[in-house]
Amino acid sequence: MKYIIFDLDGTLIDSMPTWHGTGAAFLEKHGFAVPEDIHDVVKTLTLYQTAEYFRHDLGVPFDAQQIVDEITSYVTDAYKYTIPLRPSAKEYLEAMAKKGVKMCILTASEAGYIQPALDRLDIRKYFDCILTCTELGVYKEDGKAFLTAMEKMTREELYQEVAETLAHLFEADPESIKPEARLAEDLELDSIDAIDLIVHMQKKTGERFRPEDFQHVKTVQDVVDTLVRLTSDDKAA
């Protein structure tokens, strides 16, 4: 499995000019001094983290949501209508897609205003997932953010592969294939089917599994969780 995790702002889209003056404009509007290093401080923060920085470090007396809403109002139209792609970004994404590379965006920006930009620029189709630091509860400069994004991509891809295998190889009803579906009771897999499923996933992942690793597996989600754990253990070993 090959993955690329992209930053969005300044990497795929040329949005940094939109952001450079936004925090300063907010502070100036409300009569607060603008720190010289404001851009360096906030460039990797989410909007909510920026709001807390304004509140706790700069003494802005508004609640976090009020700050977020006002700053968002400055940038929403730019994302929706004007921010362009970075040079050659779409060509690179197209080339990677043709090679079968799975791609994901991990961004400190918020989903509400980046989605219109991705749709307008016609690049949403290239990504298997769009992850925000707010959603993950992490800072982008923290290495855990990328590990979390990689695990999420792996989990989603493995779930899709397991679901497709159950439908095509074992002729399970696609409508019945859900994370909570029980392999034996709901999908009617017997012990031989379970071994065949393990063998098939070995071929797909390039990993080797032991039947006993799956002895406590009951549901589709259990299968996926076990695969994620085993493939992660192999990478860490």
Q: What is the pLDDT of residues 87-140, one digit of tens each?
A: 999 999 999 999 988 899 999 888 999 999 999 999 999 998 898 888 887 777
Domain segments of the chain as ranges: 1-141, 144-236
Q: What is the CATH class of 144-236? A: mainly alpha
Q: What is the DSSP string of 83-131?
A: PPBPTTHHHHHHHHHHTT-EEEEEESS-HHHHHHHHHHTT-GGG-SEEE
b/e per residue, 82-103, with b = 16+ CB within 10 A? ebebeeebeeebeebeeeeebb
The string of pLDDT tens digits covering residues 14-57 is 998 888 788 888 999 999 999 988 888 888 788 888 999 999 99
One fold for 1-141 and 144-236 = no
Share of the chain above pLDDT 90, in %: 55
pLDDT higher than 80, residue 145: no
The residues facing 131 across adjacent strands are 106
The strand order across the sheet containing 129-132 reads: 3-6, 102-107, 129-132
N-term to C-term CA, the chain = 18
Cβ(34)–Cβ(24) below 8 Å: yes
Q: What is the CATH number of domain 1-141?
A: 3.40.50
Q: Are 163 and 179 in contact (CB under 8 A)?
A: no
* Residue % of the chain over a pLDDT of 70: 96
Question: String of b and e for 164-181 (b: at least 16 CB within 10 Å)?
Answer: ebbbeebebeeeebeeeb
pLDDT digits (tens, 9 = 90+) for 84-98: 999 999 999 999 999
What rounded mean pLDDT belongs to the chain? Answer: 89
Q: Which of 63, 57, 42, 156 is nearest to 108 (CA)?
A: 42
Quote the pLDDT of residue 237. Answer: 42
Mean pLDDT of 177-201: 92
Output the six-digit token pair for 50: 């920026």
